[in-house]
Structure 1
Amino acid sequence: MQHIIDRFISYVIIDTESDSSSETTPSTKKQWDLANKLVEELKSIGMKDVTIDKKAYIMATLPSNVDHDVPTIGFISHFDTTPDFTGANVKPQVISNYDGNDIVLNAEQNIILSPKYFKDLLQYKGQTLITTDGTTLLGADDKAGITEIVTAMEFLIKNPEIKHGKIRVGFTPDEEIGRGAHHFDVEKFGCDWAYTMDGSQVGELEYENFNAAGAKITFKGKSVHPGYAKGKMINSMLIANDFINELPKGETPQETKGYEGFFHVHHLTGSIEETVLELIIRDHSKKKFTKRKELIAKIAQKFNKKFAKQFGEDIVIAEVKDQYYNMKEKVLPVKHIVDIAEKAMKELGIKPIIKPIRGGTDGCQLSYKGLPCPNIFAGGHNFHGKYEYVPVESIQKAIDVIVKIAELTAKPIAK
Structure 2
Amino acid sequence: MTASVTDRFLRYVVIDTQSDAKSQTQPSTEKQKNLGRLLVEELLEIGVSDAHLDEHGYVYATIPSNTAKNNVPVICFCAHMDTAPDFSGTNVKPHIVRSYQGGDIKLPGDSNQVIRVAEHPVLKDLIGHDIVTSDGTTLLGADDKAGLAEIMTAAEVLINNPDIKHGTIRILFTTDEEIGRGVDKVDLGKLGADFGYTLDGETAGTIEDETFSADGVEIQIKGVAIHPGFAYGKMENAIKIAGAIIDKLPMDLAPETTKGRQGFIHPVGVSGVMEKATLSFIIRDFTEEGLKSKEALLESITQETMKRYPGSSYTFTVKEQYRNMKVVLDQHPQIVDYAVEAISRAGMTPVRGSIRGGTDGSRLSFMGLPCANLFAGGHAFHSPLEFVSSQDMDSAVKTIVELAKLWEERA
Match of 2:340 in 1: 342
The worse-fitting range, judged by mean Cα deviation, of 333-342 and 287-296 is: 287-296
Q: Once the two structures are superposed, what CA deviation does each residue of 1:353-407 show, in whole Å capped at 9, x if it has no partner?
A: 1121110001010111110000000000000011110011110000000000011
- Post-superposition offset of 1:158: 1.1
Match of 2:374 in 1: 376
Paired residues for 1:3-402 under 5 Å: 3-69=4-70, 70-106=72-108, 108-222=110-224, 229-308=231-310, 311=311, 313-314=312-313, 316-402=314-400
- Post-superposition offset of 1:412: 5.0
Count of aligned residue pairs for this structure pair: 409
Distance of aligned partners of 1:107 and 1:73 in 2 relative to their CA distance in 1, 3 Å threshold: closer
Q: Equivalents in 2 of 1:143, 1:62: separation in Å?
A: 20
User: Equivalent residue of 1:60, what SS?
Assistant: strand
Percent of aligned pairs sharing the same letter: 45
Q: Equivalents in 2 of 1:223, 1:109: separation in Å?
A: 49
Q: Equivalents in 2 of 1:214, 1:351: separation in Å?
A: 36
The worse-fitting range, judged by mean Cα deviation, of 60-69 and 230-239 is: 230-239
Contact conserved, 2:58 with 2:173, CA < 8 A, in 1? yes
Q: Equivalents in 1 of 2:39, 2:27: separation in Å?
A: 15
Q: Equivalents in 2 of 1:85, 1:223: separation in Å?
A: 37
Q: Once the two structures are superposed, what CA deviation does each residue of 1:21-64 show, in whole Å capped at 9, x if it has no partner?
A: 11110011111111111111111111132122211111101111
Q: Equivalents in 1 of 2:326, 2:182: separation in Å?
A: 19
Contact conserved, 1:48 with 1:63, CA < 8 A, in 2? no
Which amino acid in structure 2 is aligned with residue 59 of structure 1?
A: Y
- Post-superposition offset of 1:236: 2.7
Q: Equivalents in 2 of 1:300, 1:391: separation in Å?
A: 46
Q: Equivalents in 1 of 2:109, 2:142: separation in Å?
A: 23
Q: Equivalents in 1 of 2:408, 2:109: separation in Å?
A: 51
User: Structure 1: where are the runs of 5+ without partners?
Assistant: none
The worse-fitting range, judged by mean Cα deviation, of 189-198 and 294-303 is: 294-303
Which amino acid in structure 2 is aligned with residue 244 of structure 1?
A: I
Which amino acid in structure 1 is aligned with residue 132 of structure 2?
A: I
Q: Equivalents in 2 of 1:107, 1:92: separation in Å?
A: 10
Q: Equivalents in 2 of 1:106, 1:238: separation in Å?
A: 44
User: Equivalent residue of 2:62, what SS?
Assistant: strand
Q: Once the two structures are superposed, what CA deviation does each residue of 1:306-335 show, in whole Å capped at 9, x if it has no partner?
A: 322xx2x41x33222110111111111111
Q: Equivalents in 2 of 1:106, 1:234: separation in Å?
A: 52
Q: Equivalents in 1 of 2:110, 2:12: separation in Å?
A: 26
RMSD: 1.7
User: Structure 2: where are the runs of 5+ without partners?
Assistant: none
- Post-superposition offset of 1:119: 1.9
Contact conserved, 2:251 with 2:257, CA < 8 A, in 1? no
User: Equivalent residue of 1:238, what SS?
Assistant: helix
Q: Equivalents in 2 of 1:200, 1:124: separation in Å?
A: 13
User: Equivalent residue of 1:330, what SS?
Assistant: helix
